[in-house]
Amino acid sequence: MKQALRVLLVEDSTADADLILRALHEAGFEPDWTRVDTEEAYLASLDPGLDVILSDYSMPQFDGPRALELLGQSGLDVPFLTISGTIGEDVAVESMKLGASDYLLKDRLSRLGQSVRQSMDRRRLGRERQRAEEALRESEERLKLALASSRMGVWEWDVQTGSVFWSPECLGILGIGGLDGTIEAFARWMHPDDAVRAALSWKEALAGLSVYQAEFRILRPDGELRWLANIGRARTNQMGRPLGMVGTMQDITERRLADERIAEQAALLDKAQDAILLRDLERRVVFWNQGAERLYGWTAGEVVGRDTSTFLYPVQEQLDPVMKLVIEKGEWRGELQHLTKAGHEVTVESHWTLVRDAGGSPKTILSINTDITEKKKLEAQFLRAQRMESIGTLAGGIAHDLNNVLTPIMMSIDLLKMRVKDSASLETLDTIAASARRGAAMVSQVLSFARGAEGARMEVRVAPLIDDLVKISADSFPRNIRFKTSCDPALWSVIGDPTQLHQVLLNLCINARDAMPAGGCISITAENLAMDEHYAVMKYEAKAGPWVVVHMADTGTGIPPEIIDRIFDPFFTTKGVGQGTGLGLSCSLAIVKSHGGFIRVESKPGKGTQFDLYLPAETASAEMQPAPAQTTPVCGNGELVLVIDDECDVREITRQTLEAFGYRVLLATDGAEAVELFARHEEVVVVLTDMMMPVMDGLATIQVLLRMAPSLPIIAASGLTTNGSLATATGLGIKHFLAKPFTGEALLSLLHQVLRKD
């Protein structure tokens, strides 16, 4: 491969230039060349990156001597070769005196390559020699400056004569004009608490056991106490016997005082609650306070000198941008994820400050980290609570709409039963009625869970609750999940909210389903337990008495021992993002505790999990009571009823039901229209109004109607039981309410009660 060569060719003859370039090619060069023949072009082409200048000696407008002179004025170190057609010895000598590296004849270009290489080698060697000389001078200057700035003196002790030579710098450090040249004389200036230790180090070094190195205090004649550092090495003969010792003396008082101040500051930093650490620009720990030990678990001895990126950061990518910003701007604030020695992630609020040396160059980075892990958890819980509140609001709106949809269905069934007589059709209507009631119960359950509505406490039979749960789950769970149930035939009842207890069982059932991705079996059993005092002591949350115990077991993956104590924590979940909120078990535990009960759990990884629900039992009504007999709705006597509802279907089915049972009906779509109708029909005896309507809602309508007729009976209907309008209506004296969806039987029964004042 040919050698690249940058050439400036000073030549006015194209033919001669071609000869020169051909000679370079033949010599193994690949020239990158520029040809000039004027002084202006020559000056413009001078460049420190040139490898060689090849110049004709004589040209019409320009000549070699002038080019050589201009090169010298430029200060550039570029080999210059003179090439001419005819050149005498005197001309050649003159060119060499002016600084040319060599001279050649144009008809003898065979040695051009050798001459170029020799010239370039001479330049390279010259540059290397110059750099070596400059480095030597700089080293000597640095040594002189170092000795002067360090206030260091030199001493030498001769073992044979016992004399010691002290340099003037040593005497200046000691603060004396002269000193008897013996070790004993010097020892008299030494602090007595340090003399023994310094002498022992001296003897060990003289015996060849170690290098002499000691720090001690001296009391100078002016009364000032100074710290000195002595370093020495023994000189020995060929037999290894000591001849003496040569060493240095340095005043380190300022350093010792600085060390003491740093130690005091470090002690103060150790008292800080925040984690404070100092790292160099290679991310190695320089300082690690006790706050950092408490937060992360590592002691200073374990981490000093270690790269923080190897043990403190779970995600390496977050460290590089922060380091870059701190070096560029000098400061950074933000949140970071760190790892503790135990492998736990903590969130810290971190403040980084760049520390510079005396010359202003970046030296270290100071970090102050505040643990905000719990704060972030509380913030996340607050945000989740806000989302749950939003979900509750959304659920309320959906519940209102669904209840308005279910009301016409449930009321239509009662009308159809009056017209349909064959048993098959009546059975179908019963099925529709049951499904509608189930839908209404589900809406109530969703609303109760989302809005936190407190349901009424009543006697609850657990076995039907379990049967209903299995029916719902079997319809919605994967087909590879089987259910097994077993309930004591004489199972006691409990006092509680059936909707909430149903939610607890459903939460546990869903968790069991998620623990069996490949399918399995969910077993639900319920039994009576008469707990005595001895057994109650074993269950620290229990008390003696009757209990109903529900066991729910699955054949799933089980719960790892390290997290089983956390499964009831709010928002704790092992599911992926978007697959669970971590609220199911915490809500279930809260509901069970509110009913006076408790939960126990047992699990083995790979062998499934069993939850045991303990609920206080109600034994007084343990025997099954017969269902109340259906009553025939009471008919009206032509009374005029004003029905107010913005839903057309609800208005129409209410009208049909009332008219079918002997009432007359006025319909209004909102409160404004209702007020107008009431003013024109004094014979209205009762008003049925929805609470949520446009234009004029139910509460405003009630207020206006009561001002017009204070004794007017009013029935308030609503698909929501948790909004404040019902409570306000109660404060206005309204005593009668219908919760949507309602049946025709419920409506007629309440109307009869209101009109007859039973």
DSSP 479-538: TTEEEEEEE-TTPPEEEE-HHHHHHHHHHHHHHHHHT-TT-EEEEEEEEEEEE-HHHHHH
CA distance 603 to 555: 10
DSSP structure class, residue 307: B
**Range name among 445-459, 466-480, 522-536 with the lowest pLDDT average:** 445-459
State residue 630's pLDDT score: 46
Q: What is the DSSP code string of 608-625?
A: EEEEEEEEEEE-TT-SPP
Hey, where are the domains in the chain? 3-127, 150-256, 272-371, 454-618, 640-756
Q: Is residue 98 scored above 60 in pLDDT?
A: yes
More confidently predicted of 569 and 532: 532
The arithmetic mean of pLDDT across residues 279-286, rounded, is: 90
Q: Are strands 102-105 and 80-84 parallel, antiparallel or unpaired?
A: parallel
Confidence of residue 741 (pLDDT cuts 50, 70, 90): confident
Residue 632 has pLDDT above 70, yes or no: no
Distance CA 526, CA 528 (A): 7
pLDDT at 623: 40
DSSP state, residue 210 = S
CATH 3.30.9.10 fits 3-127, yes or no: no
Asked if residue 628 has pLDDT above 50, the reply is no
Mean pLDDT computed over 151-173: 80
Per the DSSP assignment, residues forming a β-bridge with 48 are none
Fold classification of 454-618 (topology level)? Heat Shock Protein 90 (3.30.565)
Confidence at residue 642, expressed as pLDDT on a 0 to 100 scale: 93
Mean pLDDT of 327-331: 90
Contacts of 142 (CB under 8 A, 6+ apart): none
Among 3.20.10.10, 1.20.1050.10, 1.20.140.10, 3.30.450.20, what is the CATH number of 272-371?
A: 3.30.450.20
> Maximum Cα–Cα distance for the chain, whole Å?
149
Compute how many other C-beta atoms are within 10 angstroms of the C-beta atom of residue 507: 20
Question: Does the pTM of the predicted model rise above 0.75?
Answer: no
Q: Domain 640-756 adopts which CATH fold?
A: Rossmann fold (3.40.50)
CATH of domain 150-256: 3.30.450.20
- C-alpha closest to that of 552 among 597, 591, 609: 609
Q: Which of 68-82, 311-325, 728-742 has the highest mean pLDDT?
A: 68-82
Give me the mean pLDDT over the 566-593 stretch.
Answer: 67
Q: What is the pLDDT of residues 499-550, one digit of tens each?
A: 788 888 888 888 889 888 888 999 999 999 888 776 666 665 678 889 899 9
| Per-residue b or e along 596-617, where b marks 16 or more CB atoms closer than 10 Å to that residue's CB | bbbbebebeeeebbebbbbbbb
Report the DSSP pairing between strands 684-690 and 640-644: parallel
Tokens of 164: 């010691």
At residue 758, the pLDDT reads 43
Cis preceding-peptide flag for 741 (omega within 30 of 0): yes
Q: Residue 521's closest CA among 483, 469, 495?
A: 483
pLDDT value for 491: 92
Domain 272-371 matches domain 640-756 at the CATH topology level: no
Spatial distance between the Cα atoms of 450 and 444, rounded to a whole number of angstroms: 10
pLDDT given for residue 730 in this prediction: 75
Higher-scoring residue by pLDDT: 653, 102: 653
Range with lowest mean pLDDT among 75-84, 102-111, 116-125, 395-404: 395-404
Residue 104 sits at φ, ψ, to 5 deg, of -145, 155
Q: Convert the pLDDT of each residue in 349-378 to its tens digit.
A: 999 999 998 888 899 999 999 989 888 777
Question: What is the rounded CA–CA span in Å between residue 560 and residue 579?
Answer: 19
pLDDT score of 474 more than 50: yes
